[in-house]
Amino acid sequence: MFIQNVHNFRDDCLVDPKSPPLEHVALFDEAQRAWDKQQTANFMRRKKSTPNFNLSEPEFLISCLDRHSDWAVIVCLVGGGQEINTGEAGIVEWIDALNRSFPDWHIYISSRLHDSEYGAEETVRKLKSRKNVIDNTSLHLSVSMRSFRAENVSLLVKQLLDCDSDSAKQTLKNIENKYPIVITRDISKAKQWLRKQARGSERYGIVVSSQAERLKPYAIDVKSPMDPIHWFLDDKEDTRSSYYLEDVATEFHVQGLELDWVCITWDADFRYSDKSWEHRSFCGKGWNYIRKKERQIYLQNAYRVLLTRARQGMVIVIPKGDKDDPTRNPMFYDPTFEYLQEIGFKII
Q: Report pLDDT for 149.
A: 56
The answer to whether residue 231 scores a pLDDT higher than 90 is yes
Q: Report pLDDT for 147.
A: 56
278: which residues sit within 8 A by CB, 6+ positions away? 270, 271, 272, 289
Of 57-66, 148-157, 253-262, least confident by mean pLDDT is 148-157
For residues 230 and 223, what is the distance between their CA atoms, to the nearest angstrom?
Answer: 17
Higher-pLDDT residue of 274 and 188 is 188
Q: Report pLDDT for 148.
A: 54
Mean pLDDT of 322-333: 96
For residues 12 and 8, what is the distance between their CA atoms, to the nearest angstrom?
Answer: 6
- Reported as a single tens digit per residue, the pLDDT across 15-48 is 888 899 989 999 988 888 888 888 889 888 988 8
201: which residues sit within 8 A by CB, 6+ positions away? none
At 216 the three-state DSSP class reads: helix
Q: Report pLDDT for 269.
A: 97
Q: Tell me, what amino acid is at 341?
A: Q
- Reported as a single tens digit per residue, the pLDDT across 328-341 is 999 999 999 999 99
Q: Report pLDDT for 57.
A: 92
Task: Tell which residue, 285, 283, 266, has the closest CA to residue 335.
Answer: 266
Of 4-8, 144-148, 156-160, 228-232, least confident by mean pLDDT is 144-148
Q: Tell me, what amino acid is at 49?
A: S
At 42 the three-state DSSP class reads: helix
Q: Report pLDDT for 113.
A: 78
- The predicted model scores a pTM of 0.76
Helices 334-343 & 165-175 angle (0-180, nearest 10): 60
Q: Angle at CA 59, nearest 5°, toward 57 and 62?
A: 105
Of 30-39, 100-109, 189-198, least confident by mean pLDDT is 30-39
Q: Tell me, what amino acid is at 263?
A: C
Higher-pLDDT residue of 92 and 219 is 219
Q: Report pLDDT for 118.
A: 63
The answer to whether residue 145 scores a pLDDT higher than 80 is no
> Could you tell me if 222 and 250 are in contact, meaning their C-beta atoms sit under 8 angstroms apart?
yes
What helix, strand, coil percent values describe the chain, rounded to 5? 40, 15, 45
Higher-pLDDT residue of 223 and 117 is 223
Give the other-Cβ count within 10 Å of 80's Cβ: 21
Q: Are strands 286-289 and 270-273 parallel, antiparallel or unpaired?
A: unpaired
The answer to whether residue 246 scores a pLDDT higher than 90 is yes
Q: Angle at CA 256, nearest 5°, toward 222 and 275?
A: 65
Mean pLDDT of 133-150: 73
Structural domains of the chain ordered from first start: 6-139 (no CATH), 153-347 (3.40.50)
Mean pLDDT of 84-108: 84
- Reported as a single tens digit per residue, the pLDDT across 194-213 is 999 999 999 999 999 999 99
> Could you tell me if 208 and 222 are in contact, meaning their C-beta atoms sit under 8 angstroms apart?
yes
344: which residues sit within 8 A by CB, 6+ positions away? 169, 172, 173, 176
Handedness of CA 114, 115, 118, 120 (dihedral sign): positive
The strand pairing partners of 264, in sequence order, are: 207, 316
The answer to whether residue 87 scores a pLDDT higher than 70 is no
Q: Report pLDDT for 300.
A: 93
Mean pLDDT of 102-129: 79
The answer to whether residue 243 scores a pLDDT higher than 90 is yes
Mean pLDDT of 267-288: 94
> Could you tell me if 307 and 82 are in contact, meaning their C-beta atoms sit under 8 angstroms apart?
no
Q: Angle at CA 207, nearest 5°, toward 170 and 190?
A: 70
**DSSP-derived secondary structure for 236-287:** TT-TTSGGGSSS-B-HHHHTT--EEEEEEEP-TTEEEETTEEEEEEEETTEE
